[in-house]
Chains A and B, each alone.
Chain A
């Protein structure tokens, strides 16, 4: 890192860039969540099922996120693993009204966690128990039980109930993610020989 870049980083002029993977089954609301996090003038009006994947960017107070918004449809799910290496954080979206496919979500999550590119890296995972506005939606605690999140021991994780259409609950989740990334950066810098 050059002196100027460092200076800019200190002064907060240049934001640090992070790559985030947004995963989840189809129709869980990944694109809607990302869309909702973008500034209001850049938001899309219509959201259609994602084909393959798309790359989106948005900024928070201290970080600039680059999100790989992956398609969750069955035939595209094998694309996910190609991007695992780049990911510095994962957002996993669950449709909390879809009790039937909760097991599918759990299966996909388990394969993700056991992937060699992910298994030994301490990357933060943020879960969104989305569509909490539905009357029959499961609570975030219930979702975390069904997905056996308590078994994740070596990675920091967090689950938030969210309503992506209204944007409720998203900020809390992204705040946590930011905090975790800042934390891991500190650790990285501490470990680097000066």
Chain B
């Protein structure tokens, strides 16, 4: 059965954070539920729908930005107390809007995740986890990386308190008291956790997770070890998961999984009796979905999915049919509700227009004053700069609460901007002279009307580091602009992993000197992405990385006064050496650098590049032929006389062209990497081989792996 859901808008509140909307449990049987939603203005709004109109139950006063909203209550009773956290404070409201709790957690950072279970309160700031019982401190844990979400297994069924933290470094940390019980590796940085079936399944131990790179999974947290039930890959490159819920929207008796993503996709995964999941419904909203819930709000007995978007639209995807009446006549009749809505909006708009006009006149007059200062309107930007694993590029997403007018991108390192299909914005590249002012890229995106979200793809080169700046101008009066800066790190294409293959030929770089643990850590943060900014606890630390472009790896181990880096790619070691020396010189620290080059590693790296290079060369060759072959085909009427090889090229021509377009400068980039490898290899031997680069390029033009390896060995 296919699912048909209709989109209805209910109410707009301010900008919302992740997981800030919940449905209050229904009173009595089958009645409609109330919605509680909190926004960045600090306002908690609770409303119900009555005949298509949002009727507020209560609305709190504005305050600090609210980062989470959870429901709670005494165990065994309906969970209808509303808890919100803003700053380092947790507040509780009854369903009528009476504030009964105000608890200052006394954390230095602001709370960004919270879980409520009876009298137990679990809060997480960036790295800190705290457990309070009746507002008394119980447990404390300091995580190695940023905490994104927290969930606890239900105490009623499990019989003990098991908090699970979702951490940025791709692990779920399962705690026991103040100690780490064990950690679970997941395929991406987990961004959201939810109990399966709302109660953790039969044993209460099943936890759903969603990752920032769009994967989903179900894990059973058993007493001693985790069991992975299933994982859903993100092959279609959909956005990161921001919220999840379980609710039986299909009506087949099994709870389905509702997923909301940061590119606006809402999905329903149905589970059949054997636990297999299939995608049953998909809908795309234009903004990122921050909260999702299943329930019944608009009209009783019609189940629906309630979503909240970043800009604060609370809307429903309902099973209720929309057009209820029709009659003869050409034009589509508007229902009475729509008509009243249009009339109300029109009246409101007219009033506002008059008001704005008056306000603008006043502003114009007062802006003539010499002592007055014109204040700039503040708007919030939701931005994300992440490395995509599959295509070794960075994706930059920007989301503004109002429509974007234009976006200017400036970079002081050479980067490529790749096309994104979803983008409707018009790009124009300005010519820039990189010599005097270090400008390598100047691009302007002019957005179509009502675009609040923009997604860009950026590809960087390893070794070239600097900043990428984005100037965002929304459609607001007066026009203002905000700047955001993104660091492109020296080893920008490296991604954190859990383990590496130790059998590869490794080159090592060792640093010994008078530096502290914090200092060396800050240098590593400067060099590599996905490393927590906070200095890790303990004496020494090891991180593993993988190059997303080539698949080569890096192991970084360091402690106070000593650091070791191991990689099977000489270029990686060379870049690290250059950058670290520069950093140390800046701080006037004497470094003792020693390195060990493994002769096999170069051949190994060349072999890793080989399939990519061969594929690109073949692709380029085929694409070159397409036009000529097409002309022949047109002349002769068919392609039967061609040899099979050419015929297959013709058949696949659209696919080949698409591939070719998708990977601009891929070949040049590979050439660049090989040249770097060549130079770096001899640099470690103390030779300068820059003069031989032209010879190398010649060999690459008539590429053959063996002759290339020979050239590398001989020169």
Q: Are B327 and A161 in contact (CB under 8 A)?
A: no
Shortest C-beta distance, A169 to chain B (Å), equals 6
Using A149-B326, A152-B328, A157-B328 as known contacts, list a sample of 18 further A-B pairs with CB atoms less than 8 Å apart, ordered by residue number in A: A133-B301, A135-B1, A135-B3, A137-B321, A139-B322, A139-B323, A140-B321, A141-B326, A150-B328, A156-B327, A158-B325, A159-B326, A159-B327, A161-B321, A161-B323, A161-B324, A161-B325, A172-B325
| Interface size, B (range) | 10 to 19
| Given A133-B301, A135-B1, A135-B319, A140:B251 Cβ within 8 A | no
Q: Are A136 and B325 in contact (CB under 8 A)?
A: no
Contact A156 B321, beta carbon cutoff 8 Å: no
Q: Are A156 and B328 in contact (CB under 8 A)?
A: yes
* Contact between B326 and A140, CB atoms less than 8 A apart: yes
* CB-contact partner of A140 in B1, B325, B328, under 8 A: B325
Q: What does the 1/0 interface line of A141-171 toward B look like (CB < 8 Å)?
A: 1001000011011001111110000100100
Chain B, 116-135, CB within 8 A of any chain A CB: none
A105 within 8 A of B: no
Minimal beta-carbon separation of B495 from chain A (angstroms): 43
| A and B contact pairs by CB, cutoff 8 A, 17 listed | A133-B302, A135-B3, A135-B4, A135-B251, A135-B319, A136-B1, A139-B321, A141-B326, A149-B328, A150-B328, A152-B328, A153-B328, A156-B328, A157-B328, A161-B323, A166-B301, A172-B324
Judged by a CB distance under 8 angstroms, whether A132 is at the interface is yes
In B1-42, the 8 Å CB interface with A consists of 1, 3-4
Contact partners of B323 in chain A: CB under 8 A: 139-141, 161
Residues of A within 8 A of B251 (CB): 135
Find the A residue at minimum CB distance from B321.
A139
Sort A-B residue pairs by CB-CB distance and give the 3 closest, nearest first. Answer: A161-B324, A158-B327, A139-B321
Contact partners of B326 in chain A: CB under 8 A:
140-141, 144, 149, 158-159
A61 to chain B: closest CB distance in Å? Answer: 18
Q: How far is the CA of A156 from the CA of B3 in the complex (A)?
A: 34
Which chain B residues (382-422) contact chain A, with CB distance < 8 Å?
none
Main secondary structure of the interface of B (DSSP, over half): loop
Q: Contacts of B327 on A, CB cut-off 8 Å?
A: 156-159
Residues of A contacting B324 with CB < 8 Å?
A: 132, 140, 160-161, 169, 172
B105 to chain A, nearest CB (A): 45
Contacts of A158 in B (CB 8 A): 325-327
> What's the Cα separation between A139 and B326 when bound, in Å?
10
Most buried by A among B4, B251, B301, B326: B326
Q: Which residues of B contact A137 (CB under 8 A)?
A: 321
When distances are taken between beta carbons in the complex, the residues of chain A under 8 Å from B319 are 135
Question: A110 to chain B: closest CB distance in Å?
Answer: 17
In angstroms, how far is the closest chain A Cβ from the Cβ of B52? Answer: 14
A140 and B335 CA atoms in complex are apart in Å by 13
CB distance from A140 to the nearest CB of B (A): 5
Mark out the residues of chain B between 324 and 343 whose CB falls within 8 Å of any chain A CB in the assembled complex: 324-328
B-chain residues with CB within 8 Å of residue A140 when the two chains form the complex: 321, 323-326
- Bound-state CA distance A13–B319 (Å) is 44
Chain A interfacial positions (CB closer than 8 Å to B): 132-133, 135-137, 139-141, 144, 149-150, 152-153, 156-161, 166, 169, 172
Q: What is the CB-to-nearest-CB distance from B313 to chain A, in angstroms, rounded to a whole number? A: 24
A153 and B327 CA atoms in complex are apart in Å by 11
- CB-nearest residue of chain A relative to B251? A135
Closest chain A residue, CB of each to CB of B324: A161
Assembly CA distance A133 to B302 (angstroms): 8
Residues of B within 8 A of A169 (CB): 324
Tell me, rounded to whole Å, the shortest Cβ–Cβ distance linking B453 to chain A: 31
Chain B residue nearest in CB terms to A96? B321
Q: Which of B302, B323, B328 has the most CB of A within 10 A?
A: B328
- Across the interface, which residues of A come within 8 angstroms of B250, CB to CB? 135
Q: Are B1 and A132 in contact (CB under 8 A)?
A: no
The minimal Cβ–Cβ distance linking A105 to chain B, given in whole angstroms, is 16
- Closest chain A CB from B334 CB (angstroms): 13
| Alpha-carbon distance between A149 and B328 when the two chains are bound, in angstroms | 8
Report yes or no: A132 in contact with B325, Cβ–Cβ below 8 A. no
A24 to B370, CA, bound (A): 80
Output the least CB separation between A42 and chain B (Å).
25
Find the B residue at minimum CB distance from A173.
Answer: B325
A161 to B319, CA, bound (A): 14
Give bound CA distance, A141 to B327, whole Å.
9
Instruction: Give A158 to B4 CA distance when docked, in angstroms.
Output: 24
Identify the closest chain A residue to B250 (Cβ).
A135
Chain B residue contacts of A135, Cβ below 8 A? 1, 3-4, 250-251, 319
Q: Provide the residues of chain B in CB contact with A172, threshold 8 Å.
A: 324-325
State how many angstroms separate the Cβ of B335 from the closest Cβ of chain A. 10
Beyond A133-B301, A135-B251, A166-B301, whether A159 also contacts B325 by CB under 8 A is: yes
Give the residue name and chain of the B residue nearest to A155 (CB). B328
Task: Select from chain A the residue with minimum beta-carbon distance to B249.
Answer: A135
A61 to B514, CA, bound (A): 95
Q: Which residue of B lies closest to A150 (CB)?
A: B328
> Which residues of A are found within 8 Å of B301, using beta-carbon distances?
133, 166
Write out the residue numbers on chain B whose beta carbons fall within 8 Å of the beta carbon of A166: 301
CB distance from B392 to the nearest CB of A (A): 44
A152-B321 Cα distance, complex, nearest whole Å: 24
CA of A1 to CA of B302, assembled, Å: 50
Measured between beta carbons, the chain B residues less than 8 angstroms from A150 are: 328
CB-CB nearest in chain A for B332: A141
Q: Measured between alpha carbons, how far is A166 from B302 in the docked complex, in Å?
A: 12
Cα distance, A66 to B302, chains bound together (Å): 33
Q: Is the CB of A160 within 8 A of B328?
A: no
Which residues of the other chain, A, contact B325 by a CB distance below 8 angstroms? Answer: 140, 158-161, 172
Interface 1/0 per residue, B214-258 and A, CB below 8 Å: 000000000000000000000000000000000000110000000
Closest to B300 in A: A166
Complex Cα distance, B323 from A28, in Å, reads 20
Question: What 1/0 mask marks residues of chain B from 285 to 302 whose CB sits below 8 Å from any chain A CB?
Answer: 000000000000000011
Complex-state Cα separation, A45 to B251, whole angstroms: 27
In the bound complex, what is the Cα–Cα distance between A144 and B321 (angstroms)?
14
A161 → chain B closest CB, angstroms: 4
A170 to chain B, nearest CB (A): 11
What is the bound-complex CA distance between A76 and B220, given in angstroms?
60
- Minimum CB distance partner of A153 in chain B: B328
Per-position binary interface string of chain B over residues 94-137, scored 1 when its CB falls under 8 Å from any chain A CB and 0 otherwise: 00000000000000000000000000000000000000000000
Task: With CB as the reference atom, state the residue of chain A lying closest to B2.
Answer: A136
A135 to B324, CA, bound (A): 15
A190 to B238, CA, bound (A): 67
A172 (CB) vs chain B CBs: closest residue? B325
A160 to B321, CA, bound (A): 11
Q: Taking the nearest CB of chain B, how far is it from the CB of A192, in angstroms?
A: 27
Q: How far is the CA of A136 from the CA of B301 in the complex (A)?
A: 15
> Shortest Cβ distance from A122 into chain B, in angstroms?
13
Q: Which residues of chain B come closer than 8 Å to A156, judged between CB atoms?
A: 327-328
Expressed in whole angstroms, the minimum distance between the Cβ of A46 and any Cβ of chain B is 22
Tell me the bound Cα distance from A169 to B301 in angstroms: 14
Q: A132–B301 Cα gap in the complex (Å)?
A: 12
Docked Cα-Cα span, A160 to B324, in Å, equals 6
The residue in chain A whose Cβ has the minimal distance to the Cβ of B302 is A133
- Select from chain B the residue with minimum beta-carbon distance to A158: B327
Please measure, in the bound complex, the distance between the C-alpha atom of A137 and the C-alpha atom of B251, giving whole angstroms.
Answer: 14
Question: In the complex, how many angstroms separate the beta carbon of B26 from the nearest chain A beta carbon?
Answer: 17
Nearest Cβ distance between residue A111 and chain B, in whole angstroms?
Answer: 21
In whole angstroms, what is the CA distance A7 to B537 when docked? 96
Q: How far is the CA of A152 from the CA of B328 in the complex (A)?
A: 8
| Residues of chain B contacted by A160 (CB below 8 angstroms) | 324-325
Shortest CB distance B445–A (Å): 39
> With the chains together, A166 CA to B3 CA distance in Å?
23
B302 contacts across to A, CB distance below 8 A:
133
Q: Chain A's nearest CB lies how many Å from the CB of B575?
A: 58
Which B residue sits closest to A144, measured CB to CB?
A: B326
Inter-chain CA distance A136–B328, complex, in Å, is 25
Complex CA distance for A136 and B251, rounded to whole angstroms: 11
For residue A163, which residue of chain B has the nearest CB? Answer: B301
Give the shortest distance, in Å, between B324 (CB) and chain A (any CB). 4
CB-defined contacts of A144 to chain B, threshold 8 Å? 326
